[in-house]
Amino acid sequence: MKQNTKQSYFVTGGAGFIGSHLVETLVSEGYRVTVYDNLCSGKKQNIERHIGKPNFNFVQADILNLPVLQEKMKGHDVVWHLAANTDIPTGNRVTDLDLNNCTVGTRNVLEAMRLNKISEILFASSATVYGDTPPIALSESMGPLLPISLYGAGKLACEGLISAYSHLYGIRACMFRFGNVVGGNMAHGVIFDFIHKLRKNPKELEILGDGKQEKNFFMVEDCIAGMRWAFQKSSKPYDVFNLGCESSVTVKEIGRIVAEEMGLKDVKQVFTGGARGWPGDAPYVRFDVNKMKQLGWVSSHTSPEAVRIAAQRLIKTT
Ligand code: NAD
């Protein structure tokens, strides 16, 4: 990525949790930024402070509306594609939610890029593309990829579409399989849920599953820095990276950290049982991050540290 203040970025999903952190960084560095978001899970207040700045533009619209998307994308240099359904359990029940908001939406983003001759994209994929794997560190070369949620299936379909558009139309693409991204402004996820549950009942915490689910958690600032780093350093026309940290943390431990940060003692953890939190939840996600390491990047916090920092921020602001 050229460090050029005239470069302009089109951020789909820019009013969401990760998107708004990204936008904060890019706008403050003087880049021209357009946020394109339908606010289905994002919030206007996440980006409100930028409205009126000469290098910022907000479009409230849907990526499923291709004519509007194509028109608004015109004249940008790079697309950061973050818009998607992010409610995984609902996506498993409403079976066209991920098909539309993830797969068809991504095809529209690529089509708008092709029609506007925009040739660079960064894409927010997910560890869910790996599916239900044995307890080993997952590397990008693992396969076959057999997702177990419609969200994961959607992300895998998007990776395929991006790869094909990249090959056919000369679009340079960096795809990132995120672990669990945490930080302030989060409006969903296990830390957010635990804080709200413990506010309602400070004596007892209900944990979905057996609490032994073990996953990779990393800071939103690391997520953005890692994407930018790989986009700058990677020389391939299209590539995919695990983005997260090497360590992991159990859901039971997250419950303990959140309670501790809320100043609560002797919280009884009550488990709903079973290995998964919900149908389609992969109980074990640990990353092999060597590909990012070879580019010279590692995350700045371990998973337990990231969970603690995110809990501290959320307790203050929610
Ligand atoms: P988020 O829900 O806060 O952000 C998603 C944004 O996309 C929201 O602002 C929403 O309003 C917007 N959006 C959704 N559908 C849209 C549509 N059809 N048209 C226009 N805008 C639409 O979630 P997030 O955590 O910030 O996630 C950002 C991206 O990162 C998503 O693609 C998500 O799948 C991916 N991801 C996130 C995590 C994580 O741990 N947060 C992990 C893996 C992948």
What are the sequence ranges of the domains in the chain?
8-181+216-243, 183-215+247-285+300-317
Q: What percent of the chain has pLDDT over 90?
A: 92
Express each pLDDT in 76-119 by its tens digit.
999 999 999 999 999 999 999 999 999 999 999 999 999 999 99
pLDDT band at 6 (very low <50, low <70, confident <90, very high): low
User: What pLDDT does residue 313 have?
Assistant: 96
Average pLDDT of the residues in 127-144: 94
What CA–CA distance (Å, rounded) separates 272 from 281? 14
User: What pLDDT does residue 278 have?
Assistant: 85
- 20, 47 Cβ separation under 8 angstroms: yes
User: What pLDDT does residue 2 have?
Assistant: 45
- 225, 122 Cβ separation under 8 angstroms: no
What CA–CA distance (Å, rounded) separates 124 from 13? 10
Distance 263 CA to ligand 1 centre (A): 31
The SS3 assignment for 32 reads: strand
What CA–CA distance (Å, rounded) separates 124 from 107? 14
Write the CB contacts of 40 (distance below 8 Å, at least 6 apart in sequence).
Answer: 85, 101
What CA–CA distance (Å, rounded) separates 260 from 208? 19
Express each pLDDT in 252-298 by its tens digit.
999 999 999 999 999 999 999 999 988 888 899 999 999 999 999 99
Express each pLDDT in 29-64 by its tens digit.
999 999 999 999 999 999 999 999 999 999 999 999
177 DSSP β-pair partners: 125, 242
Q: Which atom number of ligand 1 is nearest to the Cα of residue 128? A: 43
The SS3 assignment for 77 reads: coil
Pocket perturbation via mutation, ligand 1, pick of 12, 18, 58, 106 by most ligand atoms within 8 A of CB? 18
Ligand 1 pocket list (CB less than 6 A) = 12-13, 15-19, 37-42, 62-64, 82-86, 101, 105, 124, 126, 178, 180-181
- Known catalytic membership, residue 31: no
User: What pLDDT does residue 184 have?
Assistant: 87
Give Cα separations from 182 to 5, 139, 178, 179 (angstroms): 29, 22, 11, 9
- 178, 223 Cβ separation under 8 angstroms: yes
* Ligand 1 atom 1, closest CA: 16
Query: Does 5 have pLDDT greater than 60?
Result: no
Architecture of domain 8-181+216-243: 3-Layer(aba) Sandwich (3.40)
Average pLDDT of the residues in 199-222: 96
Distance 203 CA to ligand 1 centre (A): 33
Beta strand pairing call for 137-138 and 286-287: parallel
* Ligand 1 atom 27, closest CA: 18
DSSP 63: T
Distance 103 CA to ligand 1 centre (A): 13
The phi, psi pair for 33, rounded to 5°, reads: -130, 130
Please name the amino acid found at residue 199: R
What CA–CA distance (Å, rounded) separates 179 from 217? 6
Spot the catalytic one: 9, 36, 130, 151.
151
Give Cα separations from 259 to 2, 249, 265, 272 (angstroms): 44, 15, 7, 18
Please name the amino acid found at residue 239: D
- Look up the CATH superfamily of 183-215+247-285+300-317: UDP-galactose 4-epimerase, domain 1 (3.90.25.10)
Average pLDDT of the residues in 193-197: 96
The phi, psi pair for 203, rounded to 5°, reads: -95, -25
Give Cα separations from 175 to 9, 123, 130, 290, 318 (angstroms): 16, 5, 14, 16, 31
Average pLDDT of the residues in 215-223: 96
Burial environment of residue 81 by CB neighbours within 10 A (0 to 12, 13 to 18, 19 or more): buried
203 Rama class: left (phi>0) / alpha (psi -120 to 50) / beta: alpha
Radius of gyration of the chain (CA): 19
Residue 244 structure tokens: 């997260």
- What's the sign of the alpha-carbon dihedral 66, 72, 74, 77? negative
Mean of the per-residue pLDDT values of the chain? 95
